[in-house]
Each structure stands twice: as structure tokens, then as C-alpha cells.
Amino acid sequence: MSTGLLQPSYVVLDTKNSRRWLFLLGLLHRFWIVDLRSTTHNAHYGASSPHSISKTVLGPAIEAEGYSVNNLTILNLILHIFGPLSERQMMWAVILLQIFCCSAAFFIRYQLVHLVY
Amino acid sequence: MYMALLSIFCTNAINILAGINGIEVGQSIIICGAMIINNCVNLFTPEHTKHLYSLNMMIPLLGVMTGLFVHNKYVGSLVQFDDTKQTSRYPASVFVGDTFCYFAGMTIAVTGVLSHSSKTVLLFFIPQILNFLYSLPQLIGLIPCPRHRLPRYALVYISVHLLTKNTGWT
């Protein structure tokens, strides 16, 4: 059974090195740039949520104090901002982003040319 | 040196912003179309030869990609999902892998370099640049990087949510 909707995927911050950046990620989370989750957070996203990943794969020690963050791609960022989308909506979202950015590129190229080149 | 970096960037930038039916081809089509518009605007300026060259490369590429896009979006059998009544044509009849991403990226990069408009081409890659900058913490290893970073399908979203809510099982 599937809803046909896409949602962001998450990576568990299990290394010491990544824990060091937790403060910064928390700050970015406030501005909706990343989605930082505590893995003790209620498991909204079903069987393959970071919660159960950390419990089954990494053991209960991690799970107790675990954090996870969405994988840092703009696909996941779009899904984080606009909520779960179907694959078709996702495709048009990316294409619209590309069209918008290309229009911005034309503006930079022909209006702000003295600033860039 | 700069040319080498540009061609490496363009190929891999399209490749890492990929994984959902239609988006690799879709974004390449938009970039390609933007380059064609840019060339047409400059066609009657003194430096028209390089834009003519660029058009020679880009118009066939656009045609090829439009044909691919039709088959790549969602052409398979129609599937209706249980919970949300979302319909989707799954799977696509043509999947693009590294081969298409490298082909499109390299064609665009080489055209940009040979027609001396590599900076303009790079401007059209703004979403890919943003994606690269956003991925940088994972790419250089500050944050663990799994092999696949694609969005996932929401499986049994509603039922598990109700289960956890009703039983208090977290």
C-alpha cells in the first residue's frame, strides 16, 4: 500500500564529526533550510522513518539521543517546504524552478551585466 | 583549467540533480531552450558566427531531448494509489541514467566553451549550483552521506500515524 507521494529522505547523524554541526543545523532549521529531527520525535512517516532506521540498524544507544537531517539535495528541500508531492508535481516543481532561474539568468546577463562581467 | 572544471561541473551537476522521472530531461530542455533564446537574440550582432555554431548544436539536442522527455515522464500503465487516489503512470517507459546526464551536460558544456559563452551557460545552471552548494556538507563529509539521497515514497502514511497516535507507541 502506497500513497504515491514523495517525502524527504533522512540521514542519521551518528558520527562525532556530524554532531559538531548540530548547532548550525538547528539554526538553519529555524529558517526552513534544513529539516532537523530528533529521532525520538513521533514517527509520522511510517515504517522506514529515521526513528525505526536508527532503532533497527544502529541500535538503541543511538536512538535514545539521535538526530537526523534531511539529505541535502534541493529535491528534499522542495519536499520539506511544500510538503509531500506526487512525482508529477515534483517534476513540474523542478522544471518551474529551472525556468525561474533561467529567467533570472537572462536578467543578470542583460541588465546587471556591468556588475557581473 | 577553467574549461575542464566547467565541463566536469556541467555533467555532474545534471547527474546529481536527478532521480525522479522526467527531471533530468526536463531541466536539460529548459537550459537548452534558454541557450537557444540567447543565441537567437544575438544572431544579428557582429559576433553571430559563434551563436550560429551554438544553435547548430543546441537545436538537434533540443529535438532529441523532447523525444526522450515524452517517453521519460510517465508513460507506463496507469496506477492509482490506495490512500490518496493519486494517479501516476508508472513506470516510465524510458529511464535515463548516467549516460543521458553525461551526454546532455557534456554537449551543453562543450557548446558553451566552443562558442565562447561559458559564463552565460554557467548562469543557466543556477539551480544546479544551488544544489551543489546545498549538498556540500555531505559531499565533503561533515555529515554522513548515504549512497542514495533520493526522496522516498510515503509508505502507509496514514495507518502508521493512526497506530502511533492511538497506542502511544513511538
Convert the pLDDT of each residue in A40-63 to its tens digit: 544 444 434 444 444 444 444 444
User: Residue A2: which H helix or E strand, with range?
Assistant: strand A2-7
- This prediction has a pTM of 0.77
Mean pLDDT, range B131-136, rounded to an integer: 91
pLDDT value, residue B94: 75
B31 and B125 Cβ atoms separated by less than 8 Å: yes
Tens of pLDDT, residue by residue over B25-80, are 999 999 999 999 999 998 888 888 899 999 999 999 999 999 888 887 765 556 66
B56 C-beta neighbours (distance < 10 Å), count: 12
Place of cell 497516535: B165
Residue scoring higher pLDDT (B33 or B166): B33
CA distance A105 to chain B (A): 5
Q: Which segment of B10-24, B53-67, B105-119 scores lowest on mean pLDDT?
A: B10-24
Separation of alpha carbons A18 and A12, rounded Å: 9
State chain B's mean pLDDT as an integer. 81
pLDDT value, residue A100: 95
Interface test with A, best of B73, B143, B148 (most A CBs within 10 A): B143
Residue of B21, B30, B130 with shortest CB distance to A95: B30
Residue type present at position B106: M
Number of domains in chain B: 1
B2 and A71 Cβ atoms separated by less than 8 Å: no
Separation of alpha carbons A82 and A63, rounded Å: 28
Residue B103, domain extent: 2-167
Q: Which segment of A75-79, B75-79, B154-158, B165-169 scores lowest on mean pLDDT?
A: B165-169
B133 to chain A, any CB pair closer than 8 A? The answer is no
pLDDT value, residue B170: 37
Q: Which segment of B11-25, B66-80, B123-137 scores lowest on mean pLDDT?
A: B66-80
Helices (H), B17-97: 23-41, 48-72
Reply yes or no on whether the pLDDT at B20 is more than 90. no
Separation of alpha carbons B5 and A117, rounded Å: 19
Tens of pLDDT, residue by residue over B138-159, are 888 788 888 788 887 765 444 4
Chain A CB contacts of B150 below 8 Å: 9, 75
Q: Is B169 exposed, middle or buried (0-12, 13-18, 19+ CB in 10 A)?
A: exposed
B27 and B103 Cβ atoms separated by less than 8 Å: no
A74 to chain B, any CB pair closer than 8 A? The answer is yes
Separation of alpha carbons A54 and B75, rounded Å: 37
Reply yes or no on whether the pLDDT at A95 is more than 90. yes
Separation of alpha carbons B6 and A101, rounded Å: 19
